[in-house]
A and B are shown apart, each in its own frame.
Chain A
């Protein structure tokens, strides 16, 4: 019996990693880096995670966990509760509906896909925050945040791809 149980436990632990890694990125995004000017345009790392797993293993990052990630991001970063939930759900929804398009495509396409999706996310977060505060939020910071997210994307995505090859190959 023990082998079966261990196998099951092992599988469960591996299956948990997409959510676990995303959670880690949400928490990391609020850790102070002490880099001057960085905090103003710190990228939303969890967005990369949600984009990646929605393409490759949506069954391991179900809708509910996306909701929880968004909620935690809102609660920790101090944005109006619901803002990042909506942004994350939008990204997840878009990617899931276009999943077939990404199958077997090159890394560049995968990157460009993120550029499009995170542009939608940035604009959405700007619109929601402006509506919430009843004032137009400075768009420049959102733009730079978007550009930095694009720059950071290959690094985070590469780690995820390697992780997936190493630990989540069986299905």
Chain B
């Protein structure tokens, strides 16, 4: 049975494809518009991102648990094979650490005594929130984690995020029940650091690669591989002395830092509230409240 297309259909078909083509171009234009909006009004986009993340968080949480269990099982199995070697290594390390412990005890008591003698003002002790990592992406385009605690748990933008090995990043967006962590490796991450041995200041910059780079070193600074890097506390966003990583290589291309934490293995992180307002909140603060404080944030 053959049907000849009616006149209406003959007009409708090209019209439909025309409309679709316009819609396609329109959506592409909309995508470009969204990209521009992200540049112009980053706060708005961040808020939308936080809300969407919050909405998807329960699903992510449901998925992340079995995945974590399976990977833990695999890891246990792998560790079972090397358990003897591991044991010998740990015994050696334990002996060495015992020596260190006596040294540390002695230094600690000495330190306390000297602090009392000099009347040193102590940093505020931190409050911690422990959160589960429910999503993450570390790659060429973005480096972030999503954790399952948010405003309700006292998490605020700019707080330091710490693993058992050292600092891993800072909170970049918060919603009610979830928060987003900007990892140190992200291209937008800049952290003031110190080289521990000679107290040289530098800025550690991420580049969406596994290793980060040290930039803005003072002229004549001496850096050698295996130097430890710690946070400097400059800028007031992070406290000083948090371990970051070690210098992996020094070359003409720059100084590369190997971070202490392996982001792919993270399951739980601690979000530390050091009571620091820092530079991060400056843009949000109203100028009136700053002038009342005499230009300084005197929060004690």
Chain B residues near A63 (CB, 8 Å)? 20, 23-24, 27
Q: Interface on chain B toward A: helix, strand, loop, or mixed SS?
A: helix
B255 at the A interface (CB under 8 A): no
State whether B141 touches A77 (Cβ < 8 A): yes
The interface of chain A, by Cβ under 8 A from chain B, is 27-42, 63-64, 67, 70-72, 75-83, 85-86, 89, 93, 125-126, 128-129, 132-133, 135, 137-142, 145
B31 pairs with A33, CB closer than 8 A: no
Q: Which residue of B lies closest to A33 (CB)?
A: B67
Residues of A with C-beta under 8 A to B264: 32-40
Interchain pairs with CB closer than 8 A, number: 153
**In the complex, chain B residues 122-166 whose Cβ is within 8 Å of any chain A Cβ:** 133-146
B38 at the interface (CB under 8 A from A): yes
Closest to A129 in B: B141
Contact call A80/B35, Cβ cutoff below 8 A:
yes
Residue pair A32, B53 in contact (C-beta under 8 Å): no
How far apart are A164's CB and chain B's nearest CB, in angstroms? Answer: 23
Residue of A nearest to B68 (CB): A34
Chain B residues with a Cβ under 8 A of chain A: 20, 23-24, 27-28, 30-35, 37-39, 45, 48-49, 52-53, 56, 59-60, 63-64, 67-68, 71-72, 75, 133-146, 180, 187-188, 207-210, 262-267
Out of B27, B52, B59, B265, name the residue touching A67 (CB < 8 Å): B27
Q: How far is the CB of B31 from chain A (nearest CB, A)?
A: 4
Q: How far is the CB of A68 from chain B (nearest CB, A)?
A: 10
Contact yes or no, B34 A82, CB < 8 A: yes
